[in-house]
Structure formats: structure tokens, C-alpha cells
Amino acid sequence: MIYDVHIGKLISGRRELEGKGVYLLCTTDRKIQEIPTFSPEDGVFVSREDMENALYDFCKSALSTYIDEGRNKDVYSFSIYTDSYHGSYVIYINNCSSLDQTVDTYYASYQEKYMKTNDEFYNRTRDQVLNSLKFAEGDYPFMFEEMPDYLEKYLNIFACIEQEAPGYLNIEQNYIFEKSIIDSELFLIAINVIHRLQDDLKQLDQTEDFIAYVSAADGVGGDYLTLSQLIRRCVPEDQLYKAMHDLKEKDSEFHSTIDAVRQLPVFQQIKHWVNIIEEGEFAEGSMRSFLRTDYEAYEQLV
């Protein structure tokens, strides 16, 4: 709950980044210390713009590689998979042909397992399998991890800062980061890059429901943060609904719930949303049932 609200307020623009104007000095003798200011002699300063430009270059390399490999036909998805704890970005791109091949493989496997086990989990139609795999990045045949050396170096240092592990620093000169980088700023950087990429993405042979967005690693929000916050900062709602029909249905259910709760006396409204938060993600009517985080319940209380 605390993380959901904290990250939700940041992504939605309801709070500023924490740590701005304070700096973290990472030294060659494997120390990380907070400093109020610095001079060029103290080390190499890596700004947010430096990180963003490095990620932008990485994305352009991924696009070029994807096109050069002959995959540029009916592309429906481009995503920047972001792990703001371990410090990594991965680019995923998929097209309809690759999706169909993956679906065929899974569908045949599910049918075989259902015949053997009679387990209802495997009793799915091909369309159900397709819907479950369309944005399952880990099943895409194309993932791009070959970061430019400078981006990889920045993220390796970031990981040492985020995980409070200076002993793993392996640098030949001192580096300085603004402290705000550890306030989930990697997400904001990736969102900016998605918007910068709009002209570059026109190189792709896009489907009518093509979307480009930022996704979160499981340990830092996963699908729920992706669908409730990140993707909405990248994709207009009408285009999002073209790509994700189930999300449109879930949004409609969520807004209907909000309207119904607003008919109650104020104290009952507060009690409803507090109960939703306190009862956890597996409770009936939880935010997870709408593919959202607890931040959305918090929003109804403020």
C-alpha cells in the first residue's frame, strides 16, 4: 500500500521527486556519500538528461536491429521494460506474425495438457490464449538488452546506490548522481523517452492498435503499475482501448463502482475505500480486480 501510493503520486504528477538538489558521490574506493554540492574536479556528473539521452539511443538501436532482422511487418507493441530496483531497461517489440506463432505453440500445449490432466486451467480457446499472451513481454521472441556501454555503466552504478551496495562499485573515476534518481526516476525517464520516440517509431509498420509504453518489472509494481499508471502516461485512452479491450471493460467497472460509492454518505464512502485498502489485493472488490493499484483507492480519499 505505502509503495503503491508513493509511486502512484509520483507517476500521476501529484508529488515532486525527492532528493532534488542533493547529490550522491560514488568513488573509486567503493564509497557512496551524500554531498550538498560538487565541482567538476569531484567526478563525472550524470544528469537526468544524460540518462534520458542514453536510453533514447538504446531504443533507437533496438528499432534499427528489429527492422534489419526483417521483422518489420504488422508491429503492434513497443515497450521499455523498467526495473527501478536492479537498474535495468529492456526493449520488447512484437508483431502479429510472432504473436500467432507463440499462441499456436501455447494453444497446442494447453490442449495436450488438458487431455492428460483434465485441469481446467488448460481448457482455453485460442482467443483466450491470444489475449493472455498479446502483451506478455517475456514470451516475445525479440528482446533487446545490448545497452550502450555508457548506459550500462550508469545503471550499474545506479544499482549500487539503490541497493546500498557500494562494495560492488567498479569504476575508474568518481561519478555523481542527483539523489532523486533513487526515487523511481527511471520510470519518469522512460516515459519521456517514449514521447521522444514518436517520430522514430514511424519507421515501424504499425497496426491500427499499435502502442508504445513503459512497463514495470514484477518487483517494482509489475502489471498493475503498468496498466494503472505507466501505460496511461504514454498512450492516449482511445488508442489504449483499441489495443486492450479487457482494460476498457475493467475501467468501466471501476468507474461504475466509484459512481455507486459516491451515492453513499461520506463516512461510508471513506469506510469503503479504507476497507478496500486494508483487506488487501485478494479481497473481493480489491483494486487488483480492476487491474489497478491501491493508489486508485487512495485517490478516492483525497
* Tens digits of residue pLDDT in 107-127: 999 999 999 999 999 999 999
Which amino acid does the sequence have at 261?
Answer: V
Which amino acid does the sequence have at 69?
Answer: E
Q: Helices 126-133 and 96-117 meet at what angle, rounded to 10?
A: 120
Nearest to 190 by CA among 86, 63, 52: 52
Q: Round to whole Å and give the CA distance between 151 and 53.
A: 9
Which amino acid does the sequence have at 86?
Answer: H
Q: What is the pLDDT of residue 1?
A: 60
Indicate the pairing of strand 88-95 with strand 206-216: unpaired
Q: Which three cell numbers stand for residue 242?
A: 483499441
Q: Round to whole Å and give the CA distance between 121 and 160.
A: 41
CA angle (35, 38, 43) in 5-degree steps: 105
Q: What is the pLDDT of residue 302?
A: 78
Nearest to 200 by CA among 49, 11, 66: 66
Q: Round to whole Å and give the CA distance between 195 and 214.
A: 10
Place of cell 554540492: 37
Q: Round to whole Å and give the CA distance between 110 and 133.
A: 13
Q: What is the pLDDT of residue 121?
A: 95
Q: What is the pLDDT along the chain (302 residues), one digit of tens a residue?
A: 678 889 999 999 999 999 999 999 999 999 999 999 999 999 999 999 999 999 999 999 999 999 999 999 999 999 999 999 999 999 999 999 999 999 999 999 999 999 999 999 999 999 999 999 999 999 999 999 999 999 999 999 999 999 999 999 999 999 999 999 999 999 999 999 999 999 999 999 999 999 999 999 999 999 999 999 999 999 999 999 999 999 999 999 999 999 999 999 999 999 999 998 888 777 777 899 999 999 999 999 97
Read off the pTM: 0.95
Nearest to 38 by CA among 179, 160, 186: 179
Q: What is the pLDDT of residue 2?
A: 78
* Tens digits of residue pLDDT in 129-166: 999 999 999 999 999 999 999 999 999 999 999 999 99
Q: Round to whole Å and give the CA distance between 123 and 42.
A: 62
